[in-house]
Amino acid sequence: MATTRKPAAGAKPATAQKAAAVKKPAAAAPAAAAPAGPAEGDMAPAFTLHASGSRTISSASLGGQPYLLYFYPKADTPGCTKQACGIQEALPALGRTGLTVIGVSPDPMGPIEKFAKKYGLDFPLASDADHKVAEAYGVWVEKSMYGRTYMGMERSSFLVGADGRVVKVWRKVKPEEHAAAVLAAAKALG
């Protein structure tokens, strides 16, 4: 024959204990950190990268002229193709503003050259295989997909003025809207 225990005097029944545990206030989530990398008005980090068409592109060689440094995750993927082709279509108008465009991905040069040739991309596509430039710009970030976390390139762009200062920053860029946003900002440079 089973015996039942009586709760000690003053003790709450188990269901009341569970309910009390649920009602405890949750700890406040820590505030999100500001993105790393340069902000608008900061000097743009220096860089030298190998680029498509057997070019080497550097911030020093661009001294005195505005440029767009746009970071994309992977050559010849749907979003990156849409973004690059949008920039290519806008290139004549961007050129009239005096803006040089440089795309940067963590891919090695082989896939970048194939991507540029396949889509007729005339502007330099640079390789940042060691992601040092991406880290300097704060776009080498932790990402997650299908429950897996990994480090990768955040789709972001930096418009740099002729004085070497960052004029505009776009984070988590939407590929289909990118070219129009850049063109509007480049025209505003004067």
Catalytic sites, residue numbers: 80
CB-facing half-sphere around the CA of 144: CA atoms within 13 A: 4
Question: Which two three-digit tokens encode residue 124?
Answer: 């330099």
> Nearest to residue 136, comparing CAs of 47, 42, 41?
47
Residues in the chain, overall count: 190
CA distance 179 to 161: 17
How far is residue 49's CA from residue 56's CA, in Å, rounded to a whole number?
6
Task: Please name which of 32, 108, 43 lies closest in space to residue 76, comparing C-alpha atoms.
Answer: 108
DSSP assignment, residue 179? H
Amino acid at 103: G
